[in-house]
Amino acid sequence: MVRQCAVLRPSINVSSSYAEQPKYKCPRCKTQTCSLPCYKRHQQRASCNGQRNPAEFVKKSQWATPDGIDRDYNYLKSVERNIERADDSLKPLLSNKQSKNSRQLHQSESKLYRYLQQNNITILRAPLGMSKSKANKTRVAQSGKVFWTVAWIDSTGNTFIDEDCPEAIKLADLHVSATKKRTRNARPRPSADADELTPKRVRLEEPSEQQQHASDNSVAASTSTISAKSVDDETQSDKPQPGSTKGATAHFYLLRPGGSDVKVLIPLQAHQDLTAALRGHTVQEFPSIYALPYASEVLPAEFILEETFLAKHKPGAGDEEAAEQTDMPVFKSEPTAEQILEMLRRDVRTT
């Protein structure tokens, strides 16, 4: 006996469908139909959407069957399509935000480039990921002013990186500000144990006449002791501490980038602003300025002036041709192998 279509019943006056063998099965309710019109009629009658129920119970024996694999594949593809659809809807929003950020970054970089080009300042970019590249926060503010990141180094080799050095401030004032920031950052915080040991409430009692007389004498003696101690402290504080320039005139020197064991210094004037001090010079990512109590004539052996260094190491013909070029790039993103090796050594020392 030929199986008949489950949708077309004898009540329906379609005699031609009685002999049709079912070819299709509804994914949701498994109703068999012989054609697309029959399937559409089934959906209308049974209010069936024809979509497979992903939460339907499936026997273990049906997992590794073609129907089971097809069911899992279609479910995973539907999840993938939903994710892609969500990504497509978010792309316009993200692209607008990223384009705005990239536009602002491009404007800031272009302003910084013009500033460097106008003042003939060359920046040697360190490779990405290096400590000096991460520490560089040189930027152009919304007001148009350039804020430099400057590494201040004292005679003992201690380094303090100041990320907010305005371009138009004198070196002496910038050094004083950096020293205050360094002192403020190094100031120890009061511990919780000290707060617990401090009495919260002191009971006051009326002293007797003898106690009052004895306390007056002790107060007078302690006052004289404190005054003498304060005088000693003032005299001690007036003495310059090791590595500091207090009590002595600070001489500023710009560190010339290079892989030499001897530090090559460029003398700077304390009354110069930061832009004037850097004009015509080259820095490694950001300027490193030494604040030393030594004049250029009496520098220690570990330092050497740039003019003395250049006299001993005369530049070649290629360097002279490069120096004659007026439109040389302000940013140099490809350092030499020696410069990379020197930066790696510095990173190892700092870590």
Q: Can you give the pLDDT at residue 102?
A: 57
Residue 275 CA to residue 268 CA, distance in Å, equals 11
**Does this model's pTM top 0.75?**
no
Q: Count, in order, helices (H) and strands (E) of the chain.
A: 10, 12
Q: Can you give the pLDDT at residue 344?
A: 66
At residue 17, φ and ψ (nearest 5 deg) are -85, -5
Whether residue 263 contacts residue 154, with contact meaning beta carbons closer than 8 Å, is answered with no
Domains of the chain: 1-51 (no CATH), 56-118 (no CATH), 123-185+243-350 (3.10.20.90)
Mean of pLDDT values over 76-91? 82
At residue 205, φ and ψ (nearest 5 deg) are -125, 155
pLDDT tens digits, residue range 161-198?
A: 999 999 999 999 999 999 999 988 876 655 544 444 44
Find the range with the poorest average confidence among 35-44, 86-95, 183-192, 318-327: 318-327
pLDDT mean across residues, the chain? 73
pLDDT higher than 60, residue 101 = no
Q: Can you give the pLDDT at residue 228?
A: 45
Q: Higher-confidence residue: 128 or 189?
A: 128
Q: Can you give the pLDDT at residue 110?
A: 83
Take residue 121 and report the two structure tokens written for it.
Answer: 């300042």
Q: Higher-confidence residue: 232 or 67?
A: 67
pLDDT tens digits, residue range 27-41?
A: 778 888 888 888 888
pLDDT tens digits, residue range 234-279?
A: 444 444 444 444 445 789 999 998 766 789 999 999 999 999 999 9
Residue 324 CA to residue 157 CA, distance in Å, equals 35
Residue 255 CA to residue 346 CA, distance in Å, equals 14
pLDDT higher than 50, residue 219 = no
Instruction: Tokens 């570990």: give the residue.
Output: 302
Take residue 62 and report the two structure tokens written for it.
Answer: 């049906």
